[in-house]
Structure 1
Amino acid sequence: YQMRYGTSFEQALRILYNEGGIRRFYQGLSFAIIQAPLSRFGSVAANDGINALLASMESTRHWGAGRSTLIASFAVGLWRMFLMPIDTCKTILQVDSSDGFKTLLRKVKAGKIHVLYQGAFANALASIVAHYPWFFTYNQLLNSKFFQRSIEFLKFSLLKNALVGFLASIVSDTITNAIRVVKTTKQAMAAKHAVTYGEAIRMIWTADGWKGLFGRGLRARILSNGLQSIIFVVVWRGLQQRYAGNSENSEGEENDEKVN
């Protein structure tokens, strides 16, 4: 809502509450529940899968984290474009509630399927640009001996993973916010009438200038994405460590059997 209309965080809370109480804050929840895990796990699967693939090839195994993460970022961008119809339905409900969603459905039923893909290129670009700094920060922090020594006071690996996820999210969201503001504006306008990327940028600039383009909704996004990243990284790293432990135990048992 902030990214589309440019209000402050406090104003957005009041407006949304006046529109429908607590329930208004959960418009688009059903689509978000589908989109969020698909987006998150798709991103991490691309990151880990591409890195594993490149590490297994003779010609690319010497590549650093930067180049490998860049390749994975393009795969993530394509995946996010595939998920665009879900994202559009979620965004329209969040921005313009059920009235906007009904307008969107009328257009789709009239054969205007393209409205579900408004902002697709901006979404792909935002995903690429967001994925790269997120996972580059994530990979660098996990592999940095200096950083790991600096957080030794956090006794539990769960807390360390949470901090890594939150820092990666702050870096990523700050860098990509302008692209997401343009994407959300173009996407939300699709229920009314299509606008070009240039028109969307001019609308934002005329209303709020550079602060609107780069700052709309940033605080709320850092808060929400930061919490998501904390939970996601903790769960993902926990599953990785558990799987790695089970694999090592299985290999150990196999070796013992061979020795016997």
Structure 2
Amino acid sequence: MTAAPATTAPLNAAAAAAATQQDGAGVFQVDNVDSEVEQPAAPAAAVAPAPAVTAREALRHSFTVGLSGGGATVFSVATMMWLHTIITYQQRHGTKFGETCKILWRQGGPRRFYRGVLPSLASAPLCRFGDTLSNELAMVWFHGQQQRRSSGGGSGTTISGGRGDRVDTKLPVWVATFLGSMGAAAFHAVVVPLDTYKVIMQVDGKEGLAVMKKRIATRGPVAVYDGALAFAGGSLMGHYPWYLTYNLLEQSLPRTRKGEGRSRRARSAFIGAAASIVSAAASNAFRVLKVYRQSHDRPDGLSYAKSIKQIIKKDGGGTRGVLGVFGRGLGGRVAASSLQGLVFNMIWQEMAAWSNDER
């Protein structure tokens, strides 16, 4: 029941004539019948504090969010694989976008653009699952992102990726996000062999499997971890800017309500595109170095120092060569990442809204 506001009401003459006040001396009338008597406001109902979220609840929720993120990535891989193959080839060889398209087409037509799609369908959702799980856990445990349901009744609480009013705050959002990024980078170590195989297939096409077998025969299983350090660095530098931008925008932009599906999707698309542009620009150098090491043609291996020197030399040396380390495939990667981030975040948030019944 809502509290009634304080009001004033004139006392009518009939009521005033009958109104009396009793004291020890007898009965006497109320004077000034035209005066206004202030009615006291009812006390406001006390709001019960939100119950604390246990570690088990936080883990269960974060796992659900991670599954939503991984599921959304399957769609992204299926629709954007051709573009990522072009970008990977550019990062390895330093070719222009149009030139790369012609080369790949001559090597096998449309199928050439989808070499490595199977390991990509396995590794990309796993990576995104680790990304979303790590970020959600960090925001719940370290930032205190306990969320109250923004729509619907009941006194329960939910921890829901940015929906509702944040109740408690511990570490700053940029610190909590960084801790989540460290966890994501560690999780990515699991999928390095799959990622290496995917990159070799994208760069070498149908010869990729033979290249991989030759490396393993020469150096042993450790060969599948070529580029692992750059992969971890790229994961950290890709994850942290993405989720820091995402977390800041989630907290600062006006939130939608239940039933505002179109507005929610537009909001999610904008946040996903913005986060992806920042992430792509920040991590491209690590991606270039990772791809170069993973797809080199030396069975005995290639150090990071030699990889950097070869890239700089091939791209013209000096400042131009250094820019090649940071800029190979950057234009296409920014475009692809923004489009993929737009689609991914929109699908991810829709899946989260569906699981939380907030559509």
CA–CA distance in structure 2, aligned partners of residues 222 and 106 of structure 1: 34
TM-score by length of 2: 0.63
- The one-letter code matched in structure 1 to 2:341 is S
CA–CA distance in structure 2, aligned partners of residues 27 and 111 of structure 1: 24
CA–CA distance in structure 1, aligned partners of residues 357 and 208 of structure 2: 49
2:129 maps to which residue?
41
- The one-letter code matched in structure 1 to 2:222 is H
CA–CA distance in structure 2, aligned partners of residues 92 and 191 of structure 1: 13
Deviation string 1:88-119 (CA, Å, 9 cap, x unpaired) is 00000001112132121233356611111001
TM-score by length of 1: 0.85
2:343 maps to which residue?
231
| 2:141 alignment partner, one of 30, 53, 63 | 53
Q: List gaps (5 residues or longer) in structure 2.
A: 1-88, 146-167, 316-320
| 2:98 alignment partner, one of 1, 6, 10 | 10
CA–CA distance in structure 2, aligned partners of residues 238 and 52 of structure 1: 20
When residues 99 and 155 of structure 1 are mapped into structure 2, their CA distance, relative to the original with a 3 A threshold, is closer
Contact conserved, 2:227 with 2:291, CA < 8 A, in 1?
yes
Corresponding residue pairs, total: 239
**2:276 matches 1:169:** yes
* Bigger Rg, structure 1 or 2: 2
Give the C-alpha shift of residue 36 in structure 1.
Answer: 1.4
Alignment of 1:219-258 (within 5 A): 219-245=331-357
- The one-letter code matched in structure 2 to 1:40 is R
The alignment's C-alpha RMSD in Å is 2.2
Contact conserved, 2:219 with 2:300, CA < 8 A, in 1?
no
1:86 maps to which residue?
194
**2:238 matches 1:130:** yes
1:21 maps to which residue?
109
Q: Extract structure 1 runs of 4+ deviating beyond 6 A.
A: none
Percent sequence identity over matched residues?
A: 32
1:206 maps to which residue?
313
CA–CA distance in structure 1, aligned partners of residues 179 and 135 of structure 2: 9
Q: List gaps (5 residues or longer) in structure 1.
A: 247-260
Deviation string 1:112-154 (CA, Å, 9 cap, x unpaired) is 1111100101100110111110000011111114x779xxxx9
Which deviates the most, 224-233 or 114-123? 224-233
1:254 maps to which residue?
none
Deviation string 1:184-203 (CA, Å, 9 cap, x unpaired) is 10111166441100000001
Higher relative contact order (CA 8 A, sep 6+): 1
- The one-letter code matched in structure 2 to 1:207 is K
